[in-house]
Structure 1
Amino acid sequence: MTQTEMQVARVVFTRGGVDESFHAVHLAVVDAGGALIASCGNPNLITFPRSSSKPVQALPLALAAPELPNDELAVACASHAGTPEHLLAVLRLLERSGSTVDDLRCGTHPPFDAAVAAELIRAGEAPTPLHHNCSGKHAGMLLSCVLNGWPREGYTEHSHPLQIRIRELHAELGGVDLEQVQAGTDGCSVPAFALPLDAAARIFAGLAQPSGEYAEAVERIFVAMTAHPFLVAGPGRLDTTLMPLVPGLVAKMGAEAFYGVGLRHSPRGPLGIAFKIMDGGERARAHVALAVLEALGIPLTPELRALAPATLHNWAGREVGGVRVDLGLAFTH
């Protein structure tokens, strides 16, 4: 076992006092200047933020549309649940670019919100691309193309000017060379960019304390997401429930158990946090998020603790086990 492997954080699920299973976690925390101040595991791990990249993917839109309403900017950053509120905001974005649902290239899946999905079934209706959790991002991309004079056709392709610009912004905001930003394809067909974990944390530190030439637009993204947490995710989902409970916190989940957090107020000043749960175990995400917030000096209220219960109950309501986080956060200064 290497030293890095020994330092990896773990979320451990227990039963009857026995450790039954665990999730390994790499984590990086940076300050407002982008310096690494704490980590678990490998802070240079190359990984895909997936949908945690959506604030960066929305930045060309924020720059090109300074008067865009906050709710529409928020849904452009969203992995939404497909509720009527989400769909209306996406439709407003599409209308601004003269686009329709047929122009979305995200594909189709059932709404994340179980009640909405059930209602579609009862009505005998099939989901459309509008229900896709990334439809707001795609509608924002179509509007960004129109406002920047780029073609809407092929907007999901790696060679499209919008996607080239988004890759550049990942490098700029992450404080790395462009060559360090690797490219794959996301579940919604746009490019997914992989970069070092501490670079992703710098992106979220920049959301917490915007600076530089993009500061005004980045601040608008922070305001939009924190003012409309419901539009960023939806009922019962971590982004939506966490942001209102910690003033000055912006958060965005990504697929395969990535998470990014910008913390505007902490005993150590503005911070950016990024972590990757290596087996993609979504159930561990809230436990890690709360553990790192507590380690950074954020008091955990009962409402916060309720997001990641420390005890496990079976279907009969009996307590059968627990969850603990072996964080071992190592501070560099």
Structure 2
Amino acid sequence: MTQTGTQVARVVFTRGGVDESIHEIHLAVVDAGGMPVASCGDPDLVTFPRSSSKPVQALPLALAAPDLPADELAIACASHAGTAEHRLAVLRLLERSGSTVADLRCGTHPPFDPAVAAELIRTGEAPTPLHHNCSGKHAGMLLSCVLGGWPKEGYTEHAHPLQVRIRELHAELGGVDLEQVEAGTDGCSVPAFALPLAAVARIFAGLAQPSGEHAQALERIFAAMTEHPFLVAGPGRLDTTLMPLVPGLVAKMGAEAFYGMGLRGGPRGPLGVAFKIMDGGERARAHVALAVLEALGVPLTPELRALAPTALHNWAGREVGGVRVELPLAFA
């Protein structure tokens, strides 16, 4: 079905004309029908989308709450930065299920936004679970439990009915058998599901052109993420900056340098894209995303190119190296 074994893509960081660091990437592109369009490396590579799975994890919520405001659906899909706007959206979602911050089982980490993190240090305050980038997803899961008639207790466990359903949705939307969806545990304690790259690309193609029994809910997720890109990530982060610059694009980052994109209006029609940078080198992610979009016919404006500079400068402002992308896409 796919061109397994084609040449991997690479992002190469150079210094003084010498290749200093190399990131290898596997990538899959599929059309709205789930058929392969292009690939680099192994499109059947089984890997964890991590937070790129959040639109799927939010689907039970979108199905159960068709009137949920778009900003609250967006925060349920988010890997947010912990700003006040993000935290308030999470609190509104918690209130709907009669839950509080104490019910969140995501844990706590310093907020991703440097200004918010610095303010906590200045005031001597400790971060709370609200600052965790996954708190919106967890708040959405709590509401899904209430609306689905499931217990909130144990909602992060693999055997909980909500997580069983989310695994089934990964298989359904990815076009694979349930046995092909492997399970681990994510950094925020919910199950993390691994599946082939091409299957994740199908999930994002399904966001770009929803069809089937979940079409309306998927369309609402697409609209929520693209209309509220700030809530999906935050200041200066790739999802937030990229989506407004490419009309019809939904994009979601995942930990360890995974990325998923659904492109609605490109010259090749609706497409789904998924790629994994194998060493987890997240600095290469924007370079790959832009190179793929350009290869698929999206013109790169100066604003887009600025997201992935090709020149490297040191702290004194001197140009000391560069970045090049090698993207040997094999088209089907």
TM-score by length of 2: 0.99
Q: Is the 8 A contact 2:6 2:40 kept in 1?
A: no
Give 3-state SS (helix, strand or coil) of 2:213's partner. coil
1:3-28 CA-to-partner distances (Å, cap 9, x unmatched) read: 96660000000111111111000000
- 1:213 positional shift: 0.1
Give the Cα separation in 2 of the matches to 1:16 and 1:118: 35
Equivalent pair of 2:239/2:251 in contact (CA under 8 Å): yes
Q: Which runs of at least 4 in structure 1 moved beyond 3 Å after TM superposition?
A: 3-6
Query: What corresponds to 2:122 in structure 1?
Result: 122
Tell me what 1:81 maps to: 81
Q: CA deviation at 1:206?
A: 0.2
| Alignment partners' CA distance in 2, 1:9 and 1:29 | 13
**Structure 1 runs not aligned, ≥5 long:** none
| Structure 2 partner of 1:325 | 325
**Structure 2 partner of 1:64:** 64
Q: Could you report, residue by residue, the CA deviation over 1:246-283 in whole angstroms, capped at 9, with x for unpaired residues?
A: 00000000000000000001111000000000000000
Which whole-Å deviations, capped at 9, do the CAs of 1:69-108 have from their partners, x for residues lacking one? 0000000000000000000000000000000000000000
Query: How many residue pairs were aligned?
Result: 330
AA aligned to 2:288 is V
Q: Summarize the Cα distance change of 1:6–1:44 in structure 2 as closer, same or farther, 3 Å threshold.
A: closer
Which secondary structure state, in structure 2, belongs to the residue aligned with residue 259 of structure 1? Answer: strand
Unaligned runs of 5+ in 2: none
Q: SS at 1:20's partner residue?
A: strand
Alignment-derived partner of residue 15 in structure 1: 15
| AA partner of residue 245 (structure 1) | L
Tell me, yes or no, if structure 1 residue 285 matches structure 2 residue 281: no
Task: Write the distance in 2 (CA, Å) between the matches of 1:287 and 1:314.
Answer: 19
Q: 2:49 maps to what in 1?
A: 49
For 1:11, the aligned partner's letter is V
CA deviations on 1:135-182 (whole Å, 9 max, x unpaired) are 000000000000000000000000000000000000000000000000
Query: 2: distance between equivalents of 1:261 and 1:267?
Result: 15
Matched residue SS, 1:214:
helix
Counterpart residue type for residue 144 of structure 1: S
Distance in 2 (alpha carbons) for counterparts of 1:326 and 1:312: 17
Q: How far apart in 2 are the matches of 1:324 and 1:207? A: 30
Q: Alpha-carbon deviation of 1:317?
A: 0.5
Q: How far apart are 1:329 and its partner, in Å?
A: 0.6
Q: Hey, what's the Cα distance between the residues in 2 that align with 1:69 and 1:186?
A: 27
- Following the alignment from structure 1 to structure 2, what is the Cα–Cα distance between the partners of residues 225 and 72? 10
Alpha-carbon separation, structure 2, partners of 1:235 and 1:224: 18
Match of 1:252 in 2: 252
SS at match of 1:7: coil
Q: Which amino acid aligns with 2:173?
A: L
The CA distance in 2 between the partners of 1:294 and 1:329, in whole Å, is 12
Q: Deviations over 1:5-62 (max 9, x none)?
A: 6600000001111111110000000000000110000000000000000000000000
Instruction: Report the RMSD for the aligned CA atoms in angstroms.
Output: 0.9
Identical residues among aligned pairs (%): 88
Mapped to 1, the partners of 2:67 and 2:115 lie a distance apart of 33
Q: Which residue of 1 aligns with 2:179?
A: 179
Partner of 1:90: 90
- The match for 1:40 is 40
Q: Distance in 2 between matches of 1:34 and 1:249?
A: 17
* Aligned AA (1:322): G
Aligned to 2:240: 240
User: SS of 1:243's equivalent?
Assistant: helix
Distance 1:274 1:32 in 2: 14
Secondary structure of the 2:328 match is coil
**2:209 counterpart of 1:209:** yes
Contact 2:49 2:194 (C-alpha < 8 Å) held by counterparts? yes
Amino acid at match of 1:327: L
Is the contact made by 2:104 and 2:129 (CA closer than 8 Å) also made in structure 1? yes
